[in-house]
Homo-oligomer: A and B are copies of this chain.
Amino acid sequence: MQKKDRKQSITLKDIAREAGVSVGTASNAINRQDIVSSDLRMRVEKVIEKLGYHPSALARSIKKNRTLAIGLIIPKIKNAFYVQIIDAVEKLVKSHGYTLILGNSDDDLDTELRYLRTFAAMRIDGLILATVGRKDPQRIERELNTYEALGIPVVLIVRGIDQAMHDTIVLDNENGVYRATTYALDLGHRHIAIISSAAHTSASKERIDGYLRAMRERHYPCDQKMIRVDMASPENGYFTAKELLDAENRPTLLLVATSSLLIDCLRAIHDLGLRIPDDLSLICFDDPDWSPYLNPSLTAIRPDTEDLCSVAVRFLLERIENADAFSTRTYVVKSELIVRASVKSLIC
């Protein structure tokens, strides 16, 4: 089936003709009210009302070389962490007169690249990118070069890219997990496992590093079997968790590295009939809004998303205003350990 040509709409030319002025004047009557007689302005407004004129942002953008649109690409909308980010970023950009264009790459590099291309073609004024990761850094770099060529600023969040050519906001993954691990050690846990996804992201590596640093500093051995990296295919976290928890020497505490893995892990725990925290203690990196209402409520490492987003948007808008005023910046967002009830103390 063919798309029918869309009904053609009222244009500025129609307004001008009906009001008996030139089209340039009609434009001025709308946008530059200071420069036009109030008499004329009212006349044009009447005609606009009468004919039902709705200006085209396309034509406007092409002339003004700005779209007032900002792109946000995230890896997984089903992850509550990114929902918080979408919500916060949207409010922020809206308050500055921009529209948010969302891309959900669904943990798929090709989808991400496709959004990168589409958004560049759309000539968004700026991009906030949480990339799916480093499976194929060159391909992402290549798209980002397009942004460079088009003069569209890019801010990376959550996950950086090696060459520090862009402003980047990252979480303190290492430190967050480090503190969670020492907290667990302080409560007497020794068999601590960590399950993480997507080995190719630096976040994953950093979180594991935080775990390792805590264990090493306290001189506890780290069994490699306690470190599991899930391959980010759907459902896979479930099997990884199940295997880990069904093994002979089950850990006493499980660190879950992302809230999307959390659901898989909970399902595995549930299916194995394990009780939290008696059979297994649990800490999650990232604190979805329902975590207090799990039973028991969930001890979690909560990154300061508000801060993350406001810095990201600020950086981006600064670049949009004045692209070259700053050298590349990096900002690390603090996280906080929220102690609830999912970790059992093992000291007598």
Report A's interface with B, CB cutoff 8 A: 1-10, 52, 54-59, 61-62, 65-67, 77-78, 83-84, 86-87, 90-91, 94, 99-104, 106, 111, 115, 118, 120-123, 145-146, 149-152, 263, 266-267, 270, 288-290, 292-296, 320-323
Residue in chain B with minimal CB distance to A84 = B78
A122 touches B293 (CB 8 A): no
Residue in chain B with minimal CB distance to A1 = B321
List 19 extra interface pairs beyond A59-B62, A78-B289, CB under 8 A.
Answer: A3-B320, A4-B323, A6-B66, A54-B146, A54-B150, A56-B121, A56-B123, A58-B123, A78-B83, A78-B84, A90-B104, A99-B115, A101-B101, A263-B289, A263-B293, A270-B292, A270-B293, A293-B294, A295-B295
Residues of B within 8 A of A8 (CB): 65
Q: Known contacts A6-B65, A62-B62, A321-B4; is A104 also within 8 Å of B86 by CB?
A: yes
Cα distance, A86 to B267, chains bound together (Å): 24
Most buried by B among A61, A290, A294: A290
A66 touches B123 (CB 8 A): no
Q: Known contacts A4-B322, A9-B149, A146-B54; is A295 also within 8 Å of B294 by CB?
A: yes
A122 touches B57 (CB 8 A): yes
The 26 sampled A-B contact pairs (Cβ below 8 Å) are A1-B322, A3-B66, A3-B321, A4-B321, A6-B152, A7-B149, A9-B150, A9-B151, A54-B150, A56-B121, A57-B123, A58-B62, A58-B123, A59-B62, A78-B289, A86-B102, A99-B115, A102-B102, A266-B290, A266-B293, A267-B292, A288-B290, A293-B294, A294-B295, A295-B295, A295-B296
